[in-house]
Amino acid sequence: MDMHLSRQTEDVCVEHKQLGSLPHSVFQLPNLRSLRLHSCQIEGVAPHWQGTKSERTLLQLDLSRNPISDIPAEVGLLVELRRLDLSHTYLRTLPLSICRLKNLTE
């Protein structure tokens, strides 16, 4: 899926699309605060946020209802994350780095 987003975009919501993987381009958005990609057939989560501004700006990440079976340890780099939704996935365990997310409320 080709996403044409303004660099000022703060909230990205894509539902019920056949993405297959986490779009790398969204993490290049310097003001990204919310990324909701539920029911998008995302199977793999590569840590595209590593080394980007998103590490410090992303507050919400919703990957629910995707066939994800693994989440990378780099999720612990999203230090400002307040909401992480991984419900209805194939995850059985979470990386220990998730303990670094001190701002999580849900």
Euclidean distance between CA atoms 79 and 59, whole angstroms: 9
CA 9, 10, 13, 18 dihedral sign is positive
pTM of the model: 0.86
pLDDT at 4: 61
Distance, C-alpha 16 to centroid of its chain: 16
Q: Which domains does the chain have, with CATH numbers?
A: 1-106 (3.80.10.10)
pLDDT at 44: 81
Tens-digit pLDDT string for the chain (106 aa): 445 667 777 888 888 988 888 777 788 888 889 999 999 998 888 777 777 787 788 999 999 999 999 888 889 989 999 999 999 999 999 999 999 999 999 7
